[in-house]
Amino acid sequence: METIFAKDAPEAIGPYCHAMKVGNLLFCSGQTPLDPKTMKIVGDNISEQTERVFKNLATVLAGAGLGLNDVVKTNVYLKDMKDFKAMNEKYAQIFAGHRPARTTIAVKQNPLDALVEIECIAEIRQVTD
């Protein structure tokens, strides 16, 4: 088991790491639309916030040598299910044809009152010659 703290990702706002590497899987903690420099929520709508969340997830994945194409599962936590369509459109645009398994639920409130939080599991593939 290996703890991952990605240098350019927003600092954890609690006692947790950005990700844990276990075997050939990387379990990424949920990311909200925090700007890593200001630690403030970015974006006034679900599309902008979803885009920032994915930038943060990509940074965490890169800290382990991975990218969004290595993601096998996501969990999406929306503050309001009315945002599902707009989030889904941005999600599809960002994954660009890659379709990991996904669960999407509405929650009463996300950390810092974010409209969206997304966590993921990625596969660490073995490179062969």
Q: Alpha helices of 77-120 — where are they, by DSSP H? A: 84-95
Grade residue 125 by pLDDT with cuts at 50, 70 and 90. confident
Q: Which residues lie across from 26 on neighbouring strands?
A: 21, 122
pLDDT digits (tens, 9 = 90+) for 16-64: 999 999 999 999 999 999 999 999 999 999 999 999 999 999 999 999 9
pLDDT at res. 129: 47
Separation CA 115–CA 45 (nearest Å):
8
Number of domains the chain is built from? 1
Question: Is residue 32 in a domain?
Answer: yes
Q: Can you give the residue range of the structural domain that contains 67?
A: 2-123
Separation CA 108–CA 59 (nearest Å):
27
Question: Is residue 129 in a domain?
Answer: no
Q: Alpha helices of the chain — where are they, by DSSP H? A: 46-63, 84-95
CATH of the domain at 56: 3.30.1330.40
User: Distance from CA of residue 106 to its chain's centroid?
Assistant: 16
pLDDT at res. 127: 59
Question: Is residue 106 in a domain?
Answer: yes
Q: What's the pTM value of the predicted model, to 2 decimals? A: 0.94
pLDDT digits (tens, 9 = 90+) for 82-123: 999 999 999 999 999 999 999 999 999 998 999 999 999 999
pLDDT at res. 2: 94
